[in-house]
Chain A
Amino acid sequence: MTHPLLSVQDLRVHFPVRSGVMLRQNGAVRAVDGVSLDIAPGETLGLVGESGCGKSTLGKAVVRLLKPTSGSVRFEEKDISHLSQRALRPLRRDFQMIFQDPAESLDPRMSVRSIIEEPFIIHRIGNRAERTKRVNELLDRVGLPTSAAERYSFEFSGGQRQRIGIARALALKPKLIVCDEPVSALDVSIQSQILNLLVELQQDFGLSYLFIAHDLSVVKHVSDRVAVMYLGKIVELAPAETIYRDPRHAYTKALLSAIPSPDPRARREKILLEGDVPSPIDPPAGSAFGHRIKHPRYEESVGMDLSLTEIAPGHMVAADPCGLTEQDWQALQTGRIP
């Protein structure tokens, strides 16, 4: 295998919790708590999980909109996790981000042209005429008329605004785009337009995506591999087809069964998870998932190494007695892959 474009090793992002008169730190939100993953050139890695599981924080840390607490983020072999903003700037053109709410991520006081042009100005690329030409090309590429350039983002519908956000992200010909819930605010018919556009752009430009979403059908549609995140940790990572056909972790199984299927004849029994995701401020000592479902083997998992282990070629799952079937757990223990 060639070198991955992005390689994340044991990444942690903790936010301090302060209280009292002296604002002394007396805890931390462990939003991302030991995540490792790779993204190959041209690949889409889907990242799913419930709200509050840390998936957006992970996305932001990968493009250094947040500084990781520990661990490394290597982009094309270069560790960017602790670079200064100044050292980062020339590298930034290679990794971009698309946000969930295009209304909030586009400045309402800037024309569409200035929004898309801004990256060129910051990176001192081209003169005015060249920039105008590039902006027009980009608008055309994302399916907006050239006349859109002189208008303001609030004059557009949600789907069109997302196209503007995509044009801005594409401007500097990045290699990786982190898409944070890019279609969850859109209606289904518009959602499919944007998904088609993202897939098309990937094929044309050889882009890699880290595609964050809570909708598993959408994630499966665009991803080559899928990572399932639960309370700051990845519990399962496998090729997209595999994770849907043969999920091994109980949390993945529950998530999949919760997707409403648009076929009334296929009403299935759901695996209902009790309660909500526990707070990442004081996460349970053992398996966070086992704690939520009050698994009988939870006590056993305290102090155990629950990191990802290969259970089948290319199929990683957390070595967690609360998340695996007895058979899979035994197989992992003895090193025999079923």
Chain B
Amino acid sequence: MNGTNGNILEVNKLITSFETDRGLLRAVDQVSFSVPAGKTVGIVGESGCGKSVTAMSIVRLLPQPAGKILGGHVLFKGRDLVQASDDEIRRVRGGEIGVIFQEPMSALNPVHRIGRQVVEVFRLHQKISKRDAWDAAVEMLDLVRIPAPEKRMMDYPHQLSGGMRQRIVIALALACRPSLVIADEPTTALDVTVQAQILDLMARLQNEMKMSIILITHDLGVIAETCDEVVVMYAGRVVEKASATELFANPLHAYTKGLLNSIPTLETPSKSVLNTIPGMVASLAEHTHGCRFCQRMGRSLPGTRERPAFSEVSPGHWVETCPECYQPA
């Protein structure tokens, strides 16, 4: 059932654009990466880098009618989801691919009880009686370690804490035992102690259910703790891609280095000057030639108008080899 080379998902030169007043904006610009079966791939970058749009392009949950996939392939178990019919994609989404959104309050319907919402997922994707769907839902809430699941089925989302709501959203995503889960900033809105609970829960469920995870976050700490592979995105492009151990030990792109150096850790001397990346993420409306990060750093080098090549510089370690931003140790 799996695709090539033991990868469950292969994203190949994906291009997603938005039609806006300022013209066509390329939010995802030829992004390629793959997700090995049973592994966790992290996508990291600042807001506006195209992380979420990449993920939502995979399951075709783009804002309509503005968002369009203009090129590339998304091979899920060998099937191209870009070409799939609406019916087909609807069956995959919530079935074989589960999605966990950042804000649990907006992912849940405030006027329906928890039970109804979890039961609905089962009824949509499986031929199953109401009674059985109810039992399956209770079992699912139990699986994500919600205390007294029968009672919680009768609650409305607002009656639960942020952490509990996120568990419900995870339960919805995992209800049909997906082989791939896309988690978009699943812990960003939560406290560190609750974040630790949720990450621990996801790791345990991943083990039990043998699923792959795409984890989108801006928190490099979360990436380091949970991911096998890391994709670093900047302004719609992948600038670096490697295994987590390799990336943190040996970052090669100036942007990755900038991100890693700008976070204070418990070891950083107090009140020392932190490294910063000047400016902010380049606007997608500005030119798309050349290296986007050079653009942010205010470098305009003659002869660098070509987009830098994305090359494998050591086994499994890919980086955009702009002459300025590619900085091997």
Contact = CB atoms under 8 A, between A and B. Distances in A.
Given A254-B193, A260-B224, A189 B265 contact: no
B13 interface: no
Interface residues of A, number: 45
Chain A interface secondary structure, helix, strand, loop or mixed? helix
B194 interface: yes
B277 interface: yes
A260 B198 CA distance: 12
Contact of A192 (B161, B221, B276): B276
A264 B274 contact: no
B280 A159 contact: yes
Interface string B212-253: 000000111111110100000000000000001100110000
B283 to A, nearest CB: 10
Contacts of A135: none
Given A188-B218, A189-B258, A272 B196 contact: yes
Contact of B264 (A51, A218, A224, A257): A218
Interface in B259-302: 259-260, 262-266, 268, 270-277, 280-281
Contacts of A51: 162, 191
B192 A188 contact: no
A157 to B, nearest CB: 5
A258 B248 CA distance: 20
A256 B224 CA distance: 16
Contacts of B219: 260
A11 interface: no
B59 to A, nearest CB: 25
Contacts of A104: none
B163 to A, nearest CB: 6
B144 to A, nearest CB: 14
A188 B263 contact: yes
Contact of B221 (A223, A260, A265): A260
B47 to A, nearest CB: 6
A259 B259 contact: no
A190 B197 contact: no
- The size bracket of the interface on B is 35 or more
Contacts of A146: none
A338 interface: no
Interface in A237-265: 240-241, 244, 254-265
A189 B46 contact: yes
B7 interface: no
A187 B263 contact: no
Interface string A6-38: 000000000000000000000000000000000
A214 B224 contact: no
A123 interface: no
Given A188-B46, A261-B221, A276-B194, A217 B264 contact: yes
B200 interface: yes
A261 B225 contact: yes
Given A188-B46, A258-B196, A261-B221, A217 B280 contact: no
A193 B276 contact: yes
Nearest to B47: A187
B195 interface: yes
A267 B228 CA distance: 13
B244 A196 contact: no
A264 B192 contact: no
A81 B121 CA distance: 54
B221 A264 contact: no
A157 B56 CA distance: 24
B222 A260 contact: yes
Contacts of A241: 270
Nearest to A254: B193
A157 B280 contact: yes
Given A190-B280, A214-B191, A262-B263, 8 more contacts: A189-B259, A199-B271, A217-B264, A240-B270, A254-B193, A264-B225, A264-B248, A272-B193
25 contacts: A51-B191, A159-B280, A188-B220, A188-B263, A190-B46, A192-B274, A192-B275, A192-B276, A196-B276, A214-B192, A216-B266, A217-B264, A217-B265, A221-B264, A240-B270, A244-B266, A255-B193, A259-B192, A261-B266, A264-B227, A265-B248, A265-B249, A267-B225, A270-B200, A272-B193
The 3 nearest A-B residue pairs measured at CB: A260-B221, A221-B264, A189-B277
Interface of B: 46-47, 161-164, 191-197, 199-200, 218-225, 227, 244-245, 248-249, 258-260, 262-266, 268, 270-277, 280-281
Interface of A: 50-51, 157, 159, 187-193, 195-196, 199, 214-218, 220-224, 240-241, 244, 254-267, 270, 272-273, 276
